[in-house]
Amino acid sequence: MKSFLGCVAFVLAQAPLTAQDHVARDRHEMHRLHQDPKAYIAMLEDPKRDAYQKPHEVLTALKLKRGEVIADIGAGSGYFTFRLARHIGDKGRVYAVDISPEMIVHLNRRIRDFKLKNVVTILAAPDDPLLPEASINRFIICDTWHHVENRTHYLGLLRKMLKRGGEVVMIDFKKEKTPVGPPLEMRIDRGDLVREMEANGFRLAAEQTFLPYQYFLVFKLK
Ligand X SMILES: C[S@@+](CC[C@H](N)C(=O)[O-])C[C@H]1O[C@@H](n2cnc3c(N)ncnc32)[C@H](O)[C@@H]1O
The interface with ligand X within residues 164-183 (CB under 6 A) comprises: none
CB of residue 135 to ligand X, shortest distance in Å: 17
Stretch that binds ligand X, among 67-75, 172-180, 201-209, 213-221 (CB under 6 A): 67-75
Stretch that binds ligand X, among 30-38, 61-69, 75-83, 214-222 (CB under 6 A): 75-83
Residues facing residue 102 across a β-bridge: none
Cβ contact 75:98 at 8 Å: yes
Q: Which is nearer to ligand X, 90 or 146 (CB)?
A: 146
> Which of 29, 143, 167, 172 touches ligand X (CB under 6 A)?
143
How many CA atoms, within 13 angstroms, populate the side-chain half-sphere of residue 141? 19
Residue 124 as a binder of ligand X (CB under 6 A): the answer is yes
Cβ contact 75:103 at 8 Å: yes
CB of residue 44 to ligand X, shortest distance in Å: 5
Q: What DSSP assignment string belongs to 140-159?
A: EEES-GGG-SSHHHHHHHHH
Q: Which is nearer to ligand X, 10 or 202 (CB)?
A: 10
Q: Which is nearer to ligand X, 73 or 94 (CB)?
A: 73
Cβ contact 66:86 at 8 Å: no
DSSP state of 139: E
Query: What's phi and psi for 25, nearest 5 deg?
Result: -65, -40
CA dihedral for 148, 150, 59, 137, sign (positive or negative): negative
Residue among 121, 79, 132, 116 at smallest CA distance from 98: 121
Residue 137 as a binder of ligand X (CB under 6 A): the answer is no
Q: Which is nearer to ligand X, 3 or 220 (CB)?
A: 3
> Which of 37, 74, 92, 181 touches ligand X (CB under 6 A)?
74
Q: Which is nearer to ligand X, 79 or 219 (CB)?
A: 79
Radius of gyration of the chain (CA): 17
Binding site residues, ligand X, CB under 6 A? 3, 7, 10, 44, 73-76, 79-80, 97-100, 103, 124, 126, 142-144, 147-148
